[in-house]
Amino acid sequence: MELKSYIQLRCPKCKRKLTVKREPEDYPEAVRLEVTCPRCNGGDFAETMYFDASGKHITRDPRRTPERPE
């Protein structure tokens, strides 16, 4: 399994984790995506938050990359 092809999903409420294949819209430097799992989601629109390997929340525009910040 090549790690660059996968990303970890993590529920911020219950801390359950699941490793899945990356989607094209995932940030290239992201290693974790936090989103409320179906068990914990009370019907709300769950916010998704991406994190890099150092644990920093990625907040930039998804169309921009670290190599092309403009």
In tens digits, the chain (70 residues) has pLDDT values of 566 799 999 999 999 999 999 998 899 899 999 999 989 988 878 789 999 999 999 988 766 665 555 5
Instruction: Determine if the pTM surpasses 0.85.
Output: no
User: Looking at the 3D structure of the chain, how many domains does it have?
Assistant: 1
Provide the pLDDT for residue 12. Answer: 94
**Is residue 8 domain-resident?**
yes
**Domain range spanning residue 29?**
3-46
The C-alpha angle 10, 16, 18, rounded to 5 degrees, equals 60
Q: Which pair of tokens denotes residue 40?
A: 């914990």
Provide the pLDDT for residue 19. Answer: 96
Q: Compute the distance between CA of residue 14 and CA of residue 17 in angstroms, rounded to an integer.
A: 9
Provide the pLDDT for residue 54. Answer: 96
Q: Compute the distance between CA of residue 56 and CA of residue 27 in angstroms, rounded to an integer.
A: 13
**Is residue 51 domain-resident?**
no
**Is residue 19 domain-resident?**
yes
Provide the pLDDT for residue 16. Answer: 96
